[in-house]
Amino acid sequence: MQTKILRLLVALVFLGGAGFFGFKLFDTLRTAEIEREQLAHIDEQVIEKLIKIRESQKKYFEANNHYASDWDSLITFVREGELPVIQRKEEIFVVNGKDSIKVTVDTLRVDKVYDLLKEDLGYSKENLGELAYTPVSHLKFELWSEDMGGQHLMEVKDPKPLNTDRAEDPLRIGSREIATTKGNWE
């Protein structure tokens, strides 16, 4: 009788321990999955911000023929800058048997950069400075630009990714080697 009770107690302890460790394993896996989902969401937020920065840099380039090399220049340009809308017409005609071209350039209007970008950016003029900061960790994105050998290079990247899988290759737009504004996630 005592042997049966002892066997029953050992079996209950064993089953209880197995259940406890099974739950702990499940909980660990579930927690890891939640962390992966949170990191994926943070990456999405960083990508959204980088796309906004890219659009701002493109407008800056359109106006200045180079990219902004610091945040103050870029933010001030988006807040206060203007872009002319130009119409170019070419007319070809013959004079004394030779072709001639008459080019007419006309400024149709001047648009405020902020008005062109405000819907895409989602910031008021007063809060445009937030564009320079990463979501969640609120660190300033690293911004770099340079003109090399006729190429206009620009790179903006997350300075310290929360996703440790991205430590060696953080989310970024542009490149220090080739002229592009693409993101490394594209």
Element at 104 (helix H, strand E):
strand 98-112
Tell me which of 15 and 138 has the higher pLDDT. Answer: 138
Give the pLDDT confidence of 34-90 residue by residue, as tens digits: 577 888 889 999 999 999 999 999 999 999 999 999 999 999 999 999 988 888 888
Q: How far apart are CA 85 and CA 107, in angstroms?
A: 6
Residue 109 lies in a domain: no
Residue 102 lies in a domain: no
Give the pLDDT confidence of 114-129 residue by residue, as tens digits: 999 989 999 999 999 9
Of the chain, the percentage scoring pLDDT greater than 90 comes to: 49
Number of domains the chain contains: 1
Residues 95-121 as b or e (16 or more Cβ within 10 Å = b) = eeeeeeeeeeeeeeeeeebbebbeeeb
- Which range of residues forms the domain containing residue 142? 2-81+114-175
Task: State mean pLDDT over 143-149.
Answer: 92
Name, in order, each residue with C-beta under 8 angstroms of 104's C-beta and a sequence gap of 6 or more: 88, 89, 90, 91
Residue 35 lies in a domain: yes
Tell me what pLDDT residue 154 has.
Answer: 95
pTM, entire model: 0.74
Residue 98 lies in a domain: no
Residue 6 lies in a domain: yes
Residue 181 lies in a domain: no
